[in-house]
Structure 1
Amino acid sequence: MGDLMAEEMAILPGMEEIIGLLYINQYIEEQSYNVIILDCAPTGESLRFISLPSALEWFMDKIFHLERTVMRVVRPMAKPFAPIPLPDDSYYAAIERLYRRLKGVDKYLLDPQVTTARLVTNAEKMVVRETQRAFMYLCLYEIAVDAVVVNKLIPPHVMDAHFKNWLTAQMGYVEQIEDYFAPIPILKAPLFESEIVGLERLRRLASELYGAQDPTRVLYAEKPYHYRFEDGRYILQLKLPFASREHIDLYRDVDELIIRIGSFKRHILLPHKLLKSRIRSASYKGDTLLIEFAEASES
């Protein structure tokens, strides 16, 4: 195995995402920049990046301290017989230090006045479907989407017969995108005559997308979920656009709800007031999952 391949394979899964989060936390705490822009990878890797803080918090709250205590007791007895080296306490201390350095980054990621996502799509059937899925999963992880950018639109003045069908198809998909994602702003970027490289072309792209608007301004800030009180009961209202009812699984743990869609899941910590309340009903209406909690006296 070559040195380059060995180095790539030695990177632990998730380490790049963790390093990215550490830098974000550092830059925000130090106020190093006015705006931080993350050019995220395709949907799956972006979701792994977004879900890391909640996954690590769940591990630290539910498993870490128990595992560390068990290892302290078991290690001296099992060490002579274990086929692999058992982690010593410094391993757990390092994880704890990492967690402390990451702690708090989720409050920045989940605040729609601080962090928003802008989805970039093309006016093509499969790409639009992938963008719908990305939007659904971002809502699941409470990331506010404040705009959808439709990229590489053929300008209407292009009359070449070769592009006629493409132009007609794109117009139809743009209408679908506007319907699907309303009321989120839809920004449109034309297909330029050359690749967008360099400051001048970036300024031209910015002018096409934003006009006189400030690109750093939050364009739409609705939170993906909130609680409301109605008829003496609390209802959790969670926006899950483009989900299918049969693909949504809902579980209740002691102090949290677990919502799973396919291979992705989200842990939602329940407020103290609802810890003793059971789930009375759950329904999926339009693009919203409604979870109704029984009063404590009914539980």
Structure 2
Amino acid sequence: MRTVLVTGLGGAGRTTVAAATALAAAGPGRRALLLTADPGDVLGAPLATDPTEIAEGLWAARVDSGAAFRTEFLALQERGAAVLELLGANRLAGEELTELPGSPQFALLRALADARTGGWDLAVLDLPPLRETIDLLALPEQLRRYLRRLLPPERQAARALRPVLAQLAGVPMPAQWLYETAARWDTELAAVQDLITADDTALRLVAEPGPAAADALRAARTGLALHGLRTEALVANRILPRHSSDTWLAALAAQQEKALGEWSGDWVPRCQVREIPHLGRDPRGPEDLASLAAGGALALAAPSGPAEPWERITDRRAEDGTLSWSIRLPGADKKSIGLVRRGDELLLRAGPFRRIVPLPSVLRRCTVSGAALADAVLTVRFTPDPQLWPRTP
């Protein structure tokens, strides 16, 4: 199954493009699924929470974050029933549960994982605005790190000792369900993380060409690179007719043309820039969506193969005794870059985006000796620690 993740700037028409992408891929003998949290009716009718066939080969469903939150909370409450009873806690009923902040993000991730088991040829996920989506797609990696820090796997090896320890101490030890739940969450998060970074997963950005979009895309480009997210296409939506005799319309078209030229210079060849014409009205229904997809503007290209490594280690010890770690960060500037070494991890900051990454084993025995940003590549220099490196006789 191929997966297409569609996001973009607020109001740029990302839901419409997601629906048109799914419709363009559907047809006889093919099964495409559109998942969206948008309550609108871009397909011409309100969507149900279960996949419903909208057109030949096209199914669509609305992601209900409230229902997903209640289901997950009640299941967790049931698995922890013994601990809750020990604490004298009263259980909550599904009717009194109101979803918490962050629930929509978790519901989208779960819907994405569930789509893998549905037998679809293509799944298109309509994601939140671009800045939120970058945080969302980085969430599985971050949560797995939190789980490893809070519940280290090595501690689980002591499960067999807990009953004995409980008798000696006279107090109950942490219940096994806590570690089992953590292991289950880690497995589910790992599956979503693998799907996001898979070679057959395409990330599409939707924006309307103009000065306001340029700054937002420039910052987002750095954030995507920081988290190792590869963009398949930048969809320029609502393109006005060129060479219009109307001076007002011609000025707007010229502004779009200038933005498209800048986007091509920034994004191509690593990412395609696709143009979608303005219909002169808000698209509604399969016919309008088919018009947007006409000409193959939203057709999926063949998977481009394994992504270029997000990071590289260059061995320069023969020259000056250092190792360099290179990270590609297009669009970044020196003032926005920050890095801190903390134990075996490196805390990276690029503008408003942050990522904590584990250092490769060879660099854990080194100290940071400098860093530089040149040609959109951040290079961090490491010097081997003589206390940790084997000494040659």
Contact 2:276/2:297 (8 A) holds in 1: no
Q: Does 1:217 align with 2:302?
A: yes
Contact 1:237/1:288 (8 A) holds in 2: yes
Aligned-partner Cα distance in 1 for 2:231–2:342: 28
Aligned with 1:41: secondary structure?
A: strand
Q: Does 1:141 align with 2:227?
A: yes
Instruction: Out of 225-234 and 284-293, give the one that drifted further.
Output: 225-234
Q: Does 1:59 align with 2:134?
A: no
CA separation of 1:277/1:32 partners in 2, compared to 1, >3 Å: closer, same or farther?
A: farther
What letter matches 2:107 in structure 1?
A: I
Contact 2:275/2:297 (8 A) holds in 1: no
What letter matches 1:15 in structure 2?
A: S
CA separation of 1:187/1:209 partners in 2, compared to 1, >3 Å: closer, same or farther?
A: farther
| Deviation per residue, 1:226-255 (Å, 9 max, x gap) | 214243354332222222212211012222
Q: Does 1:22 align with 2:107?
A: no
Contact 2:226/2:329 (8 A) holds in 1: yes
CA separation of 1:182/1:296 partners in 2, compared to 1, >3 Å: closer, same or farther?
A: farther
1:275, distance to aligned residue in structure 2 (A): 1.9
Contact 1:115/1:143 (8 A) holds in 2: no
| One of 310, 314, 319 as aligned partner of 1:229 | 314
Contact 1:145/1:221 (8 A) holds in 2: no
Q: Does 1:97 align with 2:194?
A: no
Find the counterpart in structure 2 of residue 44 from structure 1: 131
| One of 379, 388, 392 as aligned partner of 1:290 | 379
Q: Does 1:191 align with 2:278?
A: yes
1:137, distance to aligned residue in structure 2 (A): 0.8
| One of 75, 95, 98 as aligned partner of 1:10 | 98
Find the counterpart in structure 2 of residue 277 from structure 1: 366
Contact 1:139/1:224 (8 A) holds in 2: no
Q: Structure 1 length as normaliser, TM-score? A: 0.78
CA separation of 1:116/1:298 partners in 2, compared to 1, >3 Å: closer, same or farther?
A: farther
Q: How much is the aligned-residue C-alpha RMSD, in angstroms?
A: 3.3
1:216, distance to aligned residue in structure 2 (A): 5.1
Instruction: Out of 143-152 and 7-16, give the one that drifted further.
Output: 7-16
Contact 2:370/2:381 (8 A) holds in 1: yes
What letter matches 1:274 in structure 2?
A: L
Contact 1:277/1:293 (8 A) holds in 2: yes
Aligned-partner Cα distance in 2 for 1:164–1:292: 51
Contact 1:241/1:288 (8 A) holds in 2: yes
Matched ranges for 1:130-279 at <5 A: 130-183=216-269, 184-208=271-295, 210=297, 214-215=299-300, 217-218=302-303, 222-223=307-308, 225-232=310-317, 234-279=323-368
Q: Which runs of 5+ in 2 are unaligned?
A: 1-94, 157-161, 389-393
Contact 2:234/2:274 (8 A) holds in 1: yes
More strand by share: 2
CA separation of 1:277/1:139 partners in 2, compared to 1, >3 Å: closer, same or farther?
A: same
Contact 1:147/1:220 (8 A) holds in 2: no
CA separation of 1:57/1:219 partners in 2, compared to 1, >3 Å: closer, same or farther?
A: same
Q: Does 1:106 align with 2:199?
A: no
What letter matches 2:330 in structure 1?
A: P
Aligned with 1:158: secondary structure?
A: coil
Aligned-partner Cα distance in 2 for 1:209–1:248: 39
1:219, distance to aligned residue in structure 2 (A): 5.9
What letter matches 1:257 in structure 2?
A: L
Aligned-partner Cα distance in 2 for 1:114–1:175: 28
Q: Structure 2 length as normaliser, TM-score? A: 0.61
Q: Rg bigger for which structure?
A: 2
Aligned-partner Cα distance in 2 for 1:19–1:54: 16
| Deviation per residue, 1:143-201 (Å, 9 max, x gap) | 10122111111111432222121122111111111112232221111212333333333
Higher relative contact order (CA 8 A, sep 6+): 2
Instruction: Out of 247-256 and 218-227, give the one that drifted further.
Output: 218-227
Aligned-partner Cα distance in 2 for 1:8–1:134: 39
CA separation of 1:287/1:208 partners in 2, compared to 1, >3 Å: closer, same or farther?
A: farther
